[in-house]
Amino acid sequence: MLPDLTDLTTLRRLLSEAPAPDDAARQGASERNGQLTKPPGALGRLEDLAIWYAGWRGDARPQIESPQVIVFAGNHGVTAQGVSAFPAEVTVQMVANFEQGGAAINQLARAAGARMDVHALDLDNPTADFTQAPAMSESECLSALRKGWEAVDPDCDLLVVGEMGIGNTTSAAAICHALFGGSASDWTGRGTGVDDAGLTLKTDVVARGVALHARNHADGLDILARLGGRELAAMAGAIAAARVLRIPVLLDGFICSAAAACLNAVSPSALDHALAGHLSDEAAHAALLQQLGKEPLLALGMRLGEGSGGALAINILKSAVACHSGMATFAEAGVAGG
């Protein structure tokens, strides 16, 4: 049962108290893996993935039957600074495309056998320009976190969250710069495809935004409110809910990972239930995954967002679990050498 998310203090407490994986299930899965009809380690990382998944589901011989993909959409006031190659109206238009089943994520979710949900978050009311003020008040951030928290189906057995929001690579870059330091240029990329002049402008916007809020944040949730967007907060809320429910998560690209990093800054175990679905082509994603200690499952040069890389990775994890749970042991198959 998922508790109510009443305030940010509650979220901080729930993250610090979140359950660990089931050691007995993980051990049972490891023992089963050693008895399957294959040479030890022959399936490589697939074996580790299956054992990891078994621990989080509390079942030594699990199945993945009900994955969920959730796409959150939000608009950003910082787009007034000219940081994107596309206008903010595209967010609304793409939400309609998601709802009509016409986007890449719709096809990838369908191919993975995943339920897909779309949540538009107050698109007519963009967040504040974070170079001038906090992007969201604490109550606005909590509202978006709660939207993600409540969007997770407690009966799903694997979660992917994605986003749509013109300007959100700028927000993600600012979050990473605030969390991990370095220079603004270390974290700022071309996003939807800005030219060299646009990249210079975007980098300056990230630097100014982080400088404005540098002394006024306490932890990752404060950074999320000051520099994030509603869709980033909702993704963080959904990832946190999955952590409490012990539902494994496949992280998408740079923006999703930046949202997740805010949780990691609150509790170092907040992302233990999460794997990196893929390595985005967005320049700073590799550095961000290194900070989070996550090795991506795929690296296909994708940078679309929408949850697309995470959704594509569902079938990798499904395959790992299918081999683990469906293969016969040496004894069951009557094969010598077990």
| Catalytic residue ranges | 306
What is the DSSP annotation of 7-52?
SHHHHHHHHHTPPPP-HHHHHHHHHHHTTBSS-TTTTTHHHHHHHH
Task: Calculate the alpha carbon distances from 73 to 128, 168, 183 in Å.
Answer: 16, 10, 28
Strand order in the sheet with 67-73: 115-120, 67-73, 158-164, 249-251, 274-276
How far, in Å, CA of 220 to CA of 210, rounded?
A: 13
**Percent helix, strand and coil across the chain, each rounded to 5?**
50, 10, 40
Report d(CA 155, CA 245) in Å as an integer.
9
